[in-house]
Amino acid sequence: MMPKHGDMTRVVDLTREKGTGPVRTRRPLYVDLLPPCRAACPAGEDIQGWLALAQAGKYRQAWELLVQENPFPAVHGRVCYHPCESHCNRGEYDAPVSIHAIERFLGDLASAEEWPFPPAPAPSGKRVLIVGAGPCGLSAAYHLGRLGHGVEVHEAGPLAGGMMHFGIPAYRLPREVLAKEVERIGKMGVRFVFDHKVEDLLAEKEAGSFDAVLVAIGAQIGKHVEIPARDAVRVLDAVSLLHEVAGSERPLLGRRVVIYGGGNVAMDAARTARRLGAEEALIVYRRDRAHMPARAFEADEALSEGIKIRWLTTIKEIAGEELTVERMELGSDGRPRPTGQFDTLRADAVVLAIGQETDSRFLRRVPGIVFGKDGVVIVDENRMTGHPGIFAGGDAVPGDQTVTEAVGQGKKAARSIDGWLRGAAYREPDRPPLVSFRMLHLPVYRDVDPGRQPELPLAARTSDFAEVVAGLSEAEARREAQRCFSCGICFECDNCYAACPEDAILKLGPGRRYRFLYEKCTGCAVCFDQCPCHAIEMVPEPQGGAEA
């Protein structure tokens, strides 16, 4: 089979020294390697595994495999920045598999069909307190419940979800979608206590006879910047704005709104301002687009909805409705520096979107806990703080502040807590080698573009908070799943079985793959060459010769 693109042979050819004859120098070996999509997933999903089940139409099995690692497929299919897709090997062939769209399809189908999580094992007798019902806390609660531990979640707010509910606008994540996946966790037996702000953690731990604690309070306080203001228009932070909108309030911002910042929250705040009636929403950012922290597609979506962005600009003063802004330039180090050139803008409201920090003051009285910048909690490799039995995760610890990262943190914290409760530190299993695009032996495929998710027309987007992006149909999701190359994992294509000239491969039946009959194998490496996904390696012949 001839590959479609240039050189797709391995960097080092291990098969050509001595191929045939009575004595082998190398023999084939079936292996399971690491697909790059799974390696890039912060939640650690077995993406290749559930895609294989989805492409066979086994949707419930696919969902059950997916939720072994992540209890929020319908949420992630909408809000994750899908690093799996930017690492997908198919992207070097034509276009990445639209993994997030298939994940969303499975999550929505599970909610529609009301599939429950698999039953938990027998109770361990251990109790864990989780402070915070955001993505990290909910993920940890789910995984601890599946490990048999009793879990109680104390949340300062009126409901679960954290920034998934109060920080992500409904046009990206409808509230009923989140509610259904949270409800499923509650049905596992996880107990929630709402409107309960933890003030004294050690007293709370003792009163509830908890064996361990996870602090998952997130970063829900908007940072402030010192800007001189005289008789200023309304100035508010983006986190507060999004929180108000997620509740019952619809704040009035006026006709002209300026958003100060260049991250994903700034994009959401600007798009939200348009939906609240602003005729003009202008983002002011002190660097250029190449150095903007917001994801490129987030900025593109904002621009498509009529949001304007003024690059290399910073706010110096607010006086009434007038904003004095200074033009910036980038130095040789890529950092912005002032030019001394000023302009005047007019606005009815200014929204500050310059980052979030953690309110961890209540932990200051706990001996041994150490804090970093912006109030984050310092933890060891097992997510435990300096106080034994108290763990922390999500946005409360240093790292990227995304939903998927927080969900992955929750899972890892749960496994570390489980190990600590059982008296054996949890260790992540070793990862197999990564499969690159050049390691694949692909046949010629017909170029197939990824499935396109329907979107609301631009004219209909800013009148309300209706979801902008729709999902794939069953046929579209299955077709998209079939684009997966199954990198590094045998999918029983029979290429090796059909190509072997010595009948040295035994087919074991559906789901059981194959076995090499080394007494017949000559080491010719035809099976290696014909395996499209690199699930076969040629390894040195063990001592003892061809019959070993």
Going by the DSSP 8-state scheme, the letter that residue 469 receives in this structure is B
Same fold, 127-219+358-421 and 222-356: yes
Q: Provide the residue-wise pLDDT of the chain in tens; the chain has 548 residues.
A: 333 333 333 333 444 444 444 578 999 999 999 999 999 999 999 999 999 999 999 999 999 999 999 999 999 999 999 999 999 999 999 999 999 999 999 999 999 999 999 888 899 999 999 999 999 999 999 999 999 999 999 999 999 999 999 999 999 999 999 999 999 999 999 999 999 999 999 999 999 999 999 999 988 788 878 888 777 778 999 999 999 998 777 888 999 999 999 999 999 999 999 999 999 999 999 999 999 999 999 999 999 999 999 999 999 999 989 999 999 999 988 899 999 999 999 999 999 999 888 888 899 999 999 998 878 899 999 999 999 999 999 988 988 889 999 999 999 999 999 999 999 888 888 999 999 999 999 987 666 778 889 999 988 898 889 999 999 999 999 999 999 999 999 999 999 999 999 999 999 999 999 999 999 999 999 999 999 999 999 999 987 654 54
Contact 263, 242 (CB under 8 A): no
**Which pLDDT belongs to residue 2?**
35
**Which pLDDT belongs to residue 4?**
39
Cβ-proximal residues to 125 (8 Å cutoff; 6+ apart), any chain:
none
Cβ-proximal residues to 451 (8 Å cutoff; 6+ apart), any chain:
98, 101, 472, 476, 477, 479, 480
With H, G, I as helix, E, B as strand and everything else as coil, classify residue 350.
strand
Going by the DSSP 8-state scheme, the letter that residue 115 receives in this structure is P
Cβ-proximal residues to 43 (8 Å cutoff; 6+ apart), any chain:
69, 70, 76, 404, 407, 408, 411
Where are the domains positioned within the chain? 1-32+490-548, 36-115+441-481, 127-219+358-421, 222-356
Q: Classify domain 127-219+358-421 by CATH number.
A: 3.50.50.60
Helices (H), 115-174: 135-146, 163-166
With H, G, I as helix, E, B as strand and everything else as coil, classify residue 396.
helix
Contact 40, 83 (CB under 8 A): yes
Contact 236, 243 (CB under 8 A): no
Helices (H), 68-172: 73-79, 83-86, 99-113, 135-146, 163-166
Q: Among 126, 97, 131, 283, which Cα is nearest to 204's?
A: 131
Domain range 36-115+441-481, its CATH number among 3.40.50.2020, 3.30.70.20, 1.10.290.10, 1.10.1060.10: 1.10.1060.10
The number of residues in the chain equals: 548
Contact 155, 412 (CB under 8 A): no
**Which pLDDT belongs to residue 544?**
64
Contact 270, 281 (CB under 8 A): yes
**Which pLDDT belongs to residue 22?**
54
Contact 201, 131 (CB under 8 A): yes
**Which pLDDT belongs to residue 493?**
94
Contact 353, 243 (CB under 8 A): no
Question: What angle, 0 to 180 degrees and rounded to 10, lies between the N-to-C axes of helices 99-113 and 47-55?
Answer: 70
Structure token pair of residue 190: 């996880």
State whether CATH 3.40.50.300 applies to domain 1-32+490-548. no
Structure token pair of residue 34: 């690491």
Burial class (CB in 10 A: 0-12, 13-18, 19+), 288: middle
Domain range 222-356, its CATH number among 3.40.50.2300, 1.10.357.140, 3.40.50.620, 3.50.50.60: 3.50.50.60
Going by the DSSP 8-state scheme, the letter that residue 435 receives in this structure is P
- The pTM score is 0.90
**Which pLDDT belongs to residue 233?**
79
